[in-house]
A and B are shown apart, each in its own frame.
Chain A
Protein backbone atom coordinates (compact mmCIF):
# COMPACT_ATOMS: atom_id res chain seq x y z
CA UNK A 1 0.00 0.00 0.00
CA UNK A 2 1.41 3.39 -1.01
CA UNK A 3 1.70 5.97 1.75
CA UNK A 4 0.48 9.56 1.38
CA UNK A 5 4.10 10.72 1.27
CA UNK A 6 4.91 8.37 -1.60
CA UNK A 7 1.82 9.44 -3.54
CA UNK A 8 2.76 13.06 -2.93
CA UNK A 9 6.30 12.46 -4.21
CA UNK A 10 4.98 10.68 -7.32
CA UNK A 11 2.54 13.55 -7.97
CA UNK A 12 5.39 16.08 -7.70
CA UNK A 13 7.55 14.10 -10.15
CA UNK A 14 4.66 13.76 -12.63
CA UNK A 15 3.82 17.47 -12.37
CA UNK A 16 7.44 18.52 -12.82
CA UNK A 17 7.72 16.22 -15.85
CA UNK A 18 4.54 17.64 -17.43
CA UNK A 19 5.54 21.25 -16.72
CA UNK A 20 9.04 20.57 -18.09
CA UNK A 21 7.45 19.15 -21.24
CA UNK A 22 5.56 22.41 -21.74
CA UNK A 23 8.72 24.42 -21.02
CA UNK A 24 10.61 22.45 -23.67
CA UNK A 25 7.80 22.22 -26.23
CA UNK A 26 5.33 25.07 -25.66
CA UNK A 27 3.96 24.58 -29.20
CA UNK A 28 2.11 21.54 -27.81
CA UNK A 29 -0.40 23.97 -26.28
CA UNK A 30 -1.71 25.00 -29.72
CA UNK A 31 -4.07 22.02 -29.76
CA UNK A 32 -6.97 21.28 -27.40
CA UNK A 33 -5.15 18.38 -25.71
CA UNK A 34 -2.11 20.59 -25.16
CA UNK A 35 -4.26 23.27 -23.54
CA UNK A 36 -5.74 20.73 -21.17
CA UNK A 37 -2.22 19.51 -20.41
CA UNK A 38 -1.09 23.06 -19.65
CA UNK A 39 -4.10 23.61 -17.35
CA UNK A 40 -3.31 20.44 -15.42
CA UNK A 41 0.47 20.96 -15.29
CA UNK A 42 0.61 24.71 -14.72
CA UNK A 43 -2.46 25.28 -12.57
CA UNK A 44 -4.36 22.31 -11.17
CA UNK A 45 -1.56 20.04 -9.95
CA UNK A 46 0.84 22.79 -8.75
CA UNK A 47 -1.98 24.47 -6.79
CA UNK A 48 -3.08 21.18 -5.19
CA UNK A 49 0.49 20.11 -4.41
CA UNK A 50 1.41 23.46 -2.89
CA UNK A 51 -1.73 23.45 -0.74
CA UNK A 52 -1.03 19.87 0.35
CA UNK A 53 2.62 20.67 1.00
CA UNK A 54 1.69 23.67 3.11
CA UNK A 55 -0.66 21.53 5.19
CA UNK A 56 2.06 18.91 5.68
CA UNK A 57 4.58 21.55 6.72
CA UNK A 58 2.05 23.04 9.15
CA UNK A 59 1.54 19.62 10.75
CA UNK A 60 5.31 19.10 11.01
CA UNK A 61 5.60 22.52 12.64
CA UNK A 62 3.74 21.11 15.68
CA UNK A 63 6.72 18.91 16.55
CA UNK A 64 9.13 19.65 19.38
CA UNK A 65 12.03 19.07 16.99
CA UNK A 66 10.72 21.82 14.71
CA UNK A 67 10.32 24.36 17.53
CA UNK A 68 13.81 23.63 18.84
CA UNK A 69 15.39 23.88 15.39
CA UNK A 70 15.73 27.64 15.95
CA UNK A 71 18.93 28.35 17.87
CA UNK A 72 17.20 30.81 20.19
CA UNK A 73 14.84 28.06 21.41
CA UNK A 74 17.60 25.68 22.51
CA UNK A 75 17.60 26.81 26.18
CA UNK A 76 13.83 26.27 26.25
CA UNK A 77 14.37 22.73 24.98
CA UNK A 78 17.08 22.20 27.57
CA UNK A 79 14.70 23.38 30.32
CA UNK A 80 12.50 20.35 29.58
CA UNK A 81 15.25 18.14 31.00
CA UNK A 82 15.71 20.05 34.27
CA UNK A 83 16.04 17.63 37.20
CA UNK A 84 13.94 19.78 39.57
CA UNK A 85 10.27 18.65 39.38
CA UNK A 86 9.13 22.11 40.52
CA UNK A 87 9.72 23.35 37.00
CA UNK A 88 6.39 23.06 35.26
CA UNK A 89 7.56 22.44 31.70
CA UNK A 90 10.09 19.84 32.81
CA UNK A 91 7.63 17.91 34.98
CA UNK A 92 5.05 17.85 32.18
CA UNK A 93 7.59 16.73 29.59
CA UNK A 94 9.38 14.14 31.71
CA UNK A 95 6.17 12.59 33.08
CA UNK A 96 4.57 12.51 29.62
CA UNK A 97 1.72 14.76 30.67
CA UNK A 98 2.24 16.20 27.21
CA UNK A 99 3.37 14.14 24.19
CA UNK A 100 7.15 14.53 23.97
CA UNK A 101 7.07 14.94 20.20
CA UNK A 102 4.59 17.83 20.48
CA UNK A 103 5.59 19.28 23.86
CA UNK A 104 5.83 22.97 22.91
CA UNK A 105 2.65 22.93 20.83
CA UNK A 106 0.60 21.15 23.52
CA UNK A 107 0.99 24.02 25.99
CA UNK A 108 1.46 26.95 23.60
CA UNK A 109 -1.58 26.52 21.38
CA UNK A 110 -4.93 28.13 22.15
CA UNK A 111 -7.66 25.62 22.97
CA UNK A 112 -10.35 27.59 21.15
CA UNK A 113 -12.23 27.14 17.87
CA UNK A 114 -9.50 28.88 15.85
CA UNK A 115 -6.67 28.14 18.29
CA UNK A 116 -4.74 26.06 15.76
CA UNK A 117 -4.93 28.89 13.24
CA UNK A 118 -3.76 31.46 15.80
CA UNK A 119 -0.90 29.20 16.87
CA UNK A 120 0.19 28.71 13.27
CA UNK A 121 0.02 32.43 12.52
CA UNK A 122 2.22 33.02 15.56
CA UNK A 123 4.54 30.27 14.31
CA UNK A 124 4.82 31.97 10.91
CA UNK A 125 5.71 35.18 12.74
CA UNK A 126 8.39 33.30 14.70
CA UNK A 127 9.91 31.95 11.47
CA UNK A 128 9.95 35.49 10.07
CA UNK A 129 11.64 36.83 13.21
CA UNK A 130 14.20 34.01 13.20
CA UNK A 131 15.28 34.51 9.59
CA UNK A 132 14.52 38.14 8.78
CA UNK A 133 14.44 40.54 11.72
CA UNK A 134 16.47 38.45 14.17
CA UNK A 135 15.29 37.11 17.53
CA UNK A 136 15.97 38.65 20.96
CA UNK A 137 18.18 36.78 23.46
CA UNK A 138 16.38 33.70 24.90
CA UNK A 139 15.97 35.22 28.38
CA UNK A 140 14.21 38.29 26.91
CA UNK A 141 11.57 36.29 25.01
CA UNK A 142 8.10 36.87 26.41
CA UNK A 143 4.62 35.58 25.64
CA UNK A 144 2.49 37.91 23.51
CA UNK A 145 -0.13 37.95 26.26
CA UNK A 146 -0.39 36.51 29.80
CA UNK A 147 -0.70 32.70 29.79
CA UNK A 148 -4.34 31.70 30.07
CA UNK A 149 -5.62 29.13 32.59
CA UNK A 150 -7.82 27.82 29.77
CA UNK A 151 -4.79 26.05 28.28
CA UNK A 152 -4.04 24.32 31.62
CA UNK A 153 -7.66 23.46 32.35
CA UNK A 154 -8.08 21.94 28.90
CA UNK A 155 -6.31 18.88 30.34
CA UNK A 156 -6.46 19.35 34.12
CA UNK A 157 -10.13 20.24 34.61
CA UNK A 158 -11.90 17.00 35.39
CA UNK A 159 -8.66 15.13 36.09
CA UNK A 160 -8.78 13.21 39.37
CA UNK A 161 -5.55 14.61 40.82
CA UNK A 162 -6.75 18.12 40.09
CA UNK A 163 -10.28 17.62 41.47
CA UNK A 164 -9.11 15.90 44.65
CA UNK A 165 -6.81 18.79 45.50
CA UNK A 166 -8.85 20.83 48.00
CA UNK A 167 -7.15 24.10 47.14
CA UNK A 168 -7.94 23.67 43.45
CA UNK A 169 -11.58 22.99 44.32
CA UNK A 170 -11.75 26.17 46.41
CA UNK A 171 -10.37 28.46 43.72
CA UNK A 172 -11.79 26.74 40.64
CA UNK A 173 -14.19 29.62 39.90
CA UNK A 174 -11.36 32.15 40.04
CA UNK A 175 -9.23 29.95 37.83
CA UNK A 176 -12.00 29.55 35.26
CA UNK A 177 -12.67 33.30 35.18
CA UNK A 178 -8.91 34.02 34.91
CA UNK A 179 -9.09 36.13 38.08
CA UNK A 180 -6.27 33.97 39.40
CA UNK A 181 -3.55 32.53 37.26
CA UNK A 182 -2.33 28.96 37.58
CA UNK A 183 1.13 30.50 37.32
CA UNK A 184 0.56 32.46 40.53
CA UNK A 185 1.41 29.20 42.34
CA UNK A 186 3.12 27.22 39.58
CA UNK A 187 5.33 30.02 38.32
CA UNK A 188 8.60 28.18 37.63
CA UNK A 189 8.12 27.20 34.01
CA UNK A 190 11.24 27.44 31.85
CA UNK A 191 13.58 29.98 33.54
CA UNK A 192 16.13 29.83 30.74
CA UNK A 193 18.44 32.33 32.43
CA UNK A 194 19.55 29.68 34.94
CA UNK A 195 18.94 26.49 32.98
CA UNK A 196 22.62 25.88 32.26
CA UNK A 197 23.39 25.84 36.02
CA UNK A 198 20.67 23.37 36.94
CA UNK A 199 21.10 19.62 37.13
CA UNK A 200 19.88 17.71 34.09
CA UNK A 201 17.68 14.60 34.18
CA UNK A 202 18.86 11.81 31.94
CA UNK A 203 16.18 9.37 30.88
CA UNK A 204 17.16 5.69 31.07
CA UNK A 205 18.17 4.55 27.59
CA UNK A 206 15.33 2.06 27.24
CA UNK A 207 12.63 4.70 27.66
CA UNK A 208 14.23 7.62 25.84
CA UNK A 209 12.88 8.13 22.34
Chain B
Protein backbone atom coordinates (compact mmCIF):
# COMPACT_ATOMS: atom_id res chain seq x y z
CA UNK B 1 0.00 0.00 0.00
CA UNK B 2 1.20 3.49 -0.81
CA UNK B 3 -0.03 7.00 0.06
CA UNK B 4 -0.67 8.91 3.31
CA UNK B 5 -2.35 6.02 5.17
CA UNK B 6 0.59 3.67 4.58
CA UNK B 7 3.03 6.37 5.69
CA UNK B 8 0.97 6.91 8.87
CA UNK B 9 1.06 3.22 9.74
CA UNK B 10 4.84 3.00 9.39
CA UNK B 11 5.68 6.30 11.10
CA UNK B 12 3.27 6.08 14.06
CA UNK B 13 4.82 3.01 15.77
CA UNK B 14 8.25 4.64 15.68
CA UNK B 15 6.87 7.85 17.18
CA UNK B 16 4.98 5.91 19.87
CA UNK B 17 8.10 3.92 20.73
CA UNK B 18 10.19 7.09 20.97
CA UNK B 19 7.66 8.55 23.41
CA UNK B 20 7.53 5.34 25.43
CA UNK B 21 11.33 5.27 25.56
CA UNK B 22 11.39 8.86 26.83
CA UNK B 23 8.65 8.08 29.38
CA UNK B 24 10.65 5.04 30.58
CA UNK B 25 13.84 7.09 30.92
CA UNK B 26 11.99 9.74 32.96
CA UNK B 27 10.44 7.07 35.22
CA UNK B 28 13.81 5.35 35.74
CA UNK B 29 15.54 8.64 36.60
CA UNK B 30 12.71 9.73 38.90
CA UNK B 31 12.60 6.42 40.78
CA UNK B 32 16.39 6.47 41.15
CA UNK B 33 16.25 9.94 42.72
CA UNK B 34 13.36 8.89 44.96
CA UNK B 35 15.32 5.82 46.13
CA UNK B 36 18.46 7.87 46.84
CA UNK B 37 16.39 10.42 48.81
CA UNK B 38 15.81 7.78 51.50
CA UNK B 39 19.53 7.64 52.26
CA UNK B 40 19.28 10.67 54.58
CA UNK B 41 16.77 11.96 57.13
CA UNK B 42 17.00 15.58 56.06
CA UNK B 43 14.73 18.28 54.68
CA UNK B 44 16.91 18.35 51.55
CA UNK B 45 16.18 14.65 50.99
CA UNK B 46 12.45 15.34 51.19
CA UNK B 47 12.82 18.20 48.74
CA UNK B 48 14.84 15.95 46.39
CA UNK B 49 12.11 13.30 46.59
CA UNK B 50 9.49 15.83 45.45
CA UNK B 51 11.58 17.68 42.88
CA UNK B 52 13.14 16.24 40.83
CA UNK B 53 12.12 12.69 41.96
CA UNK B 54 8.32 12.67 41.99
CA UNK B 55 8.23 15.36 39.31
CA UNK B 56 10.20 13.18 36.85
CA UNK B 57 8.05 10.14 37.62
CA UNK B 58 4.89 12.24 37.20
CA UNK B 59 6.01 13.66 33.85
CA UNK B 60 6.98 10.13 32.73
CA UNK B 61 3.57 8.75 33.68
CA UNK B 62 1.73 11.62 31.96
CA UNK B 63 3.88 11.16 28.83
CA UNK B 64 3.12 7.43 28.84
CA UNK B 65 -0.62 8.01 29.21
CA UNK B 66 -0.60 10.70 26.55
CA UNK B 67 1.35 8.42 24.21
CA UNK B 68 -1.11 5.54 24.41
CA UNK B 69 -4.13 7.87 24.37
CA UNK B 70 -2.95 9.59 21.19
CA UNK B 71 -1.87 6.32 19.53
CA UNK B 72 -4.06 5.66 16.52
CA UNK B 73 -2.74 2.12 16.00
Q: Which residue of B lies closest to A128 (CB)?
A: B47
CB contacts under 8 Å to B, within A160-183, are: none
Interface of A is mostly: helix
A49 to chain B, nearest CB (A): 7
Are A61's CB and B46's CB within 8 A? yes
Are B21's CB and A23's CB within 8 A? yes
Are B64's CB and A12's CB within 8 A? no
A65-91 Cβ-contact flags toward B at 8 Å (1 or 0): 110011000000000000000000000
A1-44 Cβ-contact flags toward B at 8 Å (1 or 0): 00000000100100110011011001101100001001001110
Which residue of A12, A26, A53, A56 is within 8 Å of B18 (Cβ)?
Answer: A26
Q: How far is the CA of A35 from the CA of B20 in the complex (A)?
A: 11
Q: Does A46 contact B (CB under 8 A)?
A: yes
B7 to chain A, nearest CB (A): 18
B25-40 Cβ-contact flags toward A at 8 Å (1 or 0): 1011011101101100
Q: Which residues of A contact B43 (CB under 8 A)?
A: 66, 69-70, 126-127, 130-131
B43-61 Cβ-contact flags toward A at 8 Å (1 or 0): 1111101100110011011
Which residue of B17, B37, B47, B57 is within 8 Å of A46 (Cβ)?
Answer: B57
Are A22's CB and B35's CB within 8 A? no
Are B34's CB and A53's CB within 8 A? yes
Q: A27-B17, A42-B64, A49-B34 are in contact. Are A19 and B27 (CB under 8 A)?
A: yes
A11 to chain B, nearest CB (A): 10
Q: Which residues of A contact B27 (CB under 8 A)?
A: 15, 19, 41-42, 46
Q: Which residues of A contact B54 (CB under 8 A)?
A: 50, 53-54
Name 15 extra pairs, CB < 8 A, besides A57-B46, A126-B43.
A9-B35, A16-B31, A20-B24, A20-B28, A22-B21, A23-B25, A26-B17, A29-B16, A30-B13, A42-B27, A42-B61, A50-B30, A50-B58, A60-B46, A63-B41
Spell out B's residues near A (CB within 8 Å).
13, 16-18, 20-21, 23-25, 27-28, 30-32, 34-35, 37-38, 41-47, 49-50, 53-54, 57-58, 60-61, 64-65, 68
Spell out A's residues near B (CB within 8 Å).
9, 12, 15-16, 19-20, 22-23, 26-27, 29-30, 35, 38, 41-43, 46-47, 49-50, 53-54, 56-57, 60-61, 63, 65-66, 69-70, 126-127, 130-131
